[in-house]
Amino acid sequence: MSSIGAIGASTTSSTQSSNISMQDFLNILLTQLTYQDPLKPMDNQEFMAQLAQFTTLGQTQELSGKIDSLVSTQASMQAIGLIGRTVQFTTSEGTQTGTVASLSWAGTTPELSVNVSGITIGGISLSQVTVVR
């Protein structure tokens, strides 16, 4: 027996609150340069540090999106491997055991159809599966 746990647990990106584009950054920089004290211009090192921080933020957002895609693909591949296997899963009615009959996708999330004593129960997410035999 192997425990599945939260294979299908969805990940949420924390970058949604940091949705700034290159145009937004340039507008902020232009405003900063427009209103700076002419006797104390912006330091080149400070400018480069801000630019590096913005570049890092953009790369982090891109990486986060790719990781989300990878997790979704991995969940799909694991779900395919469950077809024909006996699984134990939890529902609002309690824990049940049955054989995975088919697989479908609800958007990008795989859902299993499981035969339990001759009755097919559909819409089982991977996060509901607790044991695979």
The whole-number pLDDT of residue 67 equals 93
pLDDT at residue 34 in the model: 82
Say how far apart CA 63 and CA 129 lie, in whole Å: 29
Measured in degrees and rounded to the nearest 5, phi and psi for residue 20 equal -120, 135
pLDDT tens across 27-55, in order? Answer: 887 887 788 777 776 677 777 787 788 78
Predicted confidence at residue 6, as pLDDT, reads: 40
Query: Secondary structure of 85-130 in the HEC alphabet?
Result: CEEEEEECCEEEEEEEEEEEEECCEEEEEEEECCEEEEEEEHHHEE
**Residue 40 carries which DSSP code?**
S
Q: pTM of the predicted model, to two decimals?
A: 0.51
Q: Strand, coil or helix: what is 53?
A: helix
Specify the 3-state DSSP secondary structure of 131. strand
Number of domains in the chain: 1
Question: What is the reported pLDDT for 66?
Answer: 93
pLDDT given for residue 80 in this prediction: 87
Task: State which residues form the domain around 52.
Answer: 1-9+16-133
Name the stretches of the chain with pLDDT < 50.
Answer: 1-17
